Structure 1
Amino acid sequence: MCAEPAVSRSRAEAVALAARYAGQPHPARHLGEACRTAVHDAYSVGLTLAADAALAQRASLCAAGPLADHGERLQINLGEGPCVQALTQGTPVLANDLADPHTTRQWPVFAQQAQAHHIRAAFALPALHGPDPAQQSGVALTLYRDQPGPLSTADLHTAQLHTDAAELLLLAAPQPAEDDLTYAWYLPADAVVHQATGIISYRHTLTTGQALALLRAHAHTTDTDLTTLAHAIVHENLHLPDPPGTGPTDT
């Protein structure tokens, strides 16, 4: 009798893992914590969803452990990092040492700021079901560690298994409208960023990608956390300055 192919076994494992959390409140959080428990070395775990093909819009589904909140927030604030690269290219990004400029040349600002928060290595794994990034689900899991060094084969398999389970949970969730970014299993802190993006898009007659770029630029210019700025726009009626060549639709 022929042995079952490794890919089929891994898929079956992912299905079984996803089934444990299907129907639970905030399944991504439980999955991230489960991954953190299952890996051999000490990691923090982040799960990220890209909500459009251009990756202009991303949300953190989970930040488990002391490093993940900073790592996830930095990648969303800056629009760069290993997870962004992994989702863009559709391949894993294994950064053994964030102090290595060759490894981090595509995201030097993230690498610098991540190290300031004691993140020394990061490994981002997208859900992989084909070579074309446009056909990927947009789900990626990132492992953050406070020491440099490679990711073991066993931990790579475990992390990829949890990434694939997260994709299955997402596919099983109710489908939102095309422009609806308020998935039920988003963290509330991230939902406000997308609410602010929609408000900016309406006020300044911009696409959602342009609106998010404006939000990020203003956060960077004013040295403000992206979520804090988004909260002020949504809940305190803060208006951003008009970008050059545009004007608001309301007064």
Structure 2
Amino acid sequence: MTAPRPAAVVLAARHTGHADPAGRIGASCRSALHGTYSVGLTLAVDAALAQRVSLCAVGPLAAQGEALQINLGEGPCVQALSRRVQVLADDLDDPEVTREWPFYAHDAKAHHIRAVFALPVLNGSDPARQAGLVLCLYRHRPGPISDADLHTAQDHADAADLLLLAAPLPGEDDLATAWLLPVDATVHQAIGMISYRHSLTGSQALALLRAHAHARQMDLTALAHAIVHEGLTLPDAPPSGPTDAL
């Protein structure tokens, strides 16, 4: 991460010490933008979002926009992390814009998302395992984002990263738990069970789980719960879906 602009430092200072810092940053970003957007903030351990925490979803489009990227393992957030660049997808009907994540584009449009702008704050040197924060803006109409809104959003993304870096270690303070939330354990249990049953690597098992969730139009966590707690067994062959997103 390069040195944050002064505006990001001011924003971080404004929200330091408060409960739900991610939610506060997301709400602050949404209110500061000139256009109408929903705001999502994700902390990812790897570029495929296999290990991630959705930190906030502010506005009517954000929760579904964030969930789709996590469920499918593809989308602007994944591309922003793996390519280490901002992804400004101003029209999800444009195949040139969405060619790297067609399943996400199709499902996002079904939920009235027509443009997505993903702004990463990157940490680490390996693009394949790139980790960091990503702030995503979701909009119900196509069209480019203004330079002013882009700068405002990036300042809020940088401020979120500063707040995360300043958070105490788990156990030191309740504030830490507002950031360092556990990744859903049921999903990882399901991945382990699929890996054992089908003799797959962890990445292959996650891809199979995502493909079946997409084919069944289920949330990833709901399908994982059915596997772990209800005895559901997946077929060996994956359905047609985003199994190569990893």
TM-score range, shorter chain: 0.7 to 0.9
CA distance, structure 2, for counterparts of residue 194 and residue 35 of structure 1: 27
Q: Does structure 1 retain, via aligned residues, the 8 Å contact 2:83–2:127?
A: yes
Residue of structure 2 in register with 1:185 after alignment: 178
Question: Matched residue of 2:99: which SS?
Answer: coil
Report deviation, 1:174.
4.2
Choose the corresponding residue for 1:159, options 153, 172, 175. 153
SS in 2 for 1:66: coil
| Contiguous gaps of at least 5 residues in structure 2 | 171-175, 238-246
Alpha-carbon distance, 1:27 to partner: 1.2
> 1:60 touches 1:187 (CA, 8 Å); kept in 2?
no
Residue number among 182, 185, 188 corresponding to 1:195 in the alignment: 185
Distance 1:114 1:187 in 2: 28
- The amino acid across from 1:99 in the alignment is D
Q: Over residues 168-223 of structure 1, what are the superposed CA-to-partner deviations in whole Å (9 max), with x where a residue is unaligned? A: 122223457xxxxxx833698xx5x6302331344344655344333323312332
* Residues 25-83 of structure 1: CA deviation (Å, up to 9, x unaligned): 32111111110001110000011111235543233111100011111111111111111
Residues 1-251 of structure 1 aligned to structure 2 (within 5 Å)? 10-52=4-46, 55-128=49-122, 133=127, 137-174=131-168, 184-185=177-178, 194-203=184-193, 204-205=195-196, 208-232=202-226, 236-241=229-234
3-state SS in 1 of match to 2:148: helix
Whether the aligned pair in 2 keeps the contact of 1:91 and 1:128 (CA below 8 Å) is no
Alignment partners' CA distance in 1, 2:236 and 2:74? 22
Instruction: Report the TM-score, using the length of structure 1 for normalisation.
Output: 0.78
SS of the residue 1:103 aligns to = helix
Q: Is the 8 A contact 1:198 1:211 kept in 2?
A: no
Unaligned runs of 5+ in 1: 1-6, 177-182, 245-251
Partners in 1 of 2:87 and 2:26 — Cα distance? 18
Residues 134 and 151 (structure 1), Cα distance of their counterparts in 2 relative to 1, 3 Å cut: same
Counterpart of 2:241 in structure 1 is: none
Q: Structure 1 stretch 216-225 or stretch 27-36: which is displaced more? A: 216-225
How far did 1:12 drift? 2.6
Seen in structure 2, the aligned counterparts of structure 1 residues 165 and 134 have a Cα distance that, compared at 3 Å, is farther
The separation in 2 between residues aligned to 1:136 and 1:11, in whole angstroms, is 22
Conservation of the 8 A alpha-carbon contact between 2:46 and 2:131: no
1:48 touches 1:141 (CA, 8 Å); kept in 2?
Answer: yes
TM-score, normalised with respect to structure 2: 0.79
Secondary structure of the residue aligned to 1:102 is helix
Cα deviation for residue 96 of structure 1 reads: 1.1
Report how many aligned residue pairs link the two structures. 227
8 Å CA contact 2:187–2:220 kept in 1: the answer is no
* Cα distance change of structure 1 residues 115 and 241 upon mapping to structure 2, 3 Å threshold: closer
- Rounded to whole Å, the distance in 2 between the matches of 1:88 and 1:20 is 31
Contact 1:197–1:208 (CA<8 Å) still a contact in 2? no
Separation of aligned partners in 1, 2:34 and 2:22 = 20
CA contact (8 A) 1:45 1:63 kept: yes
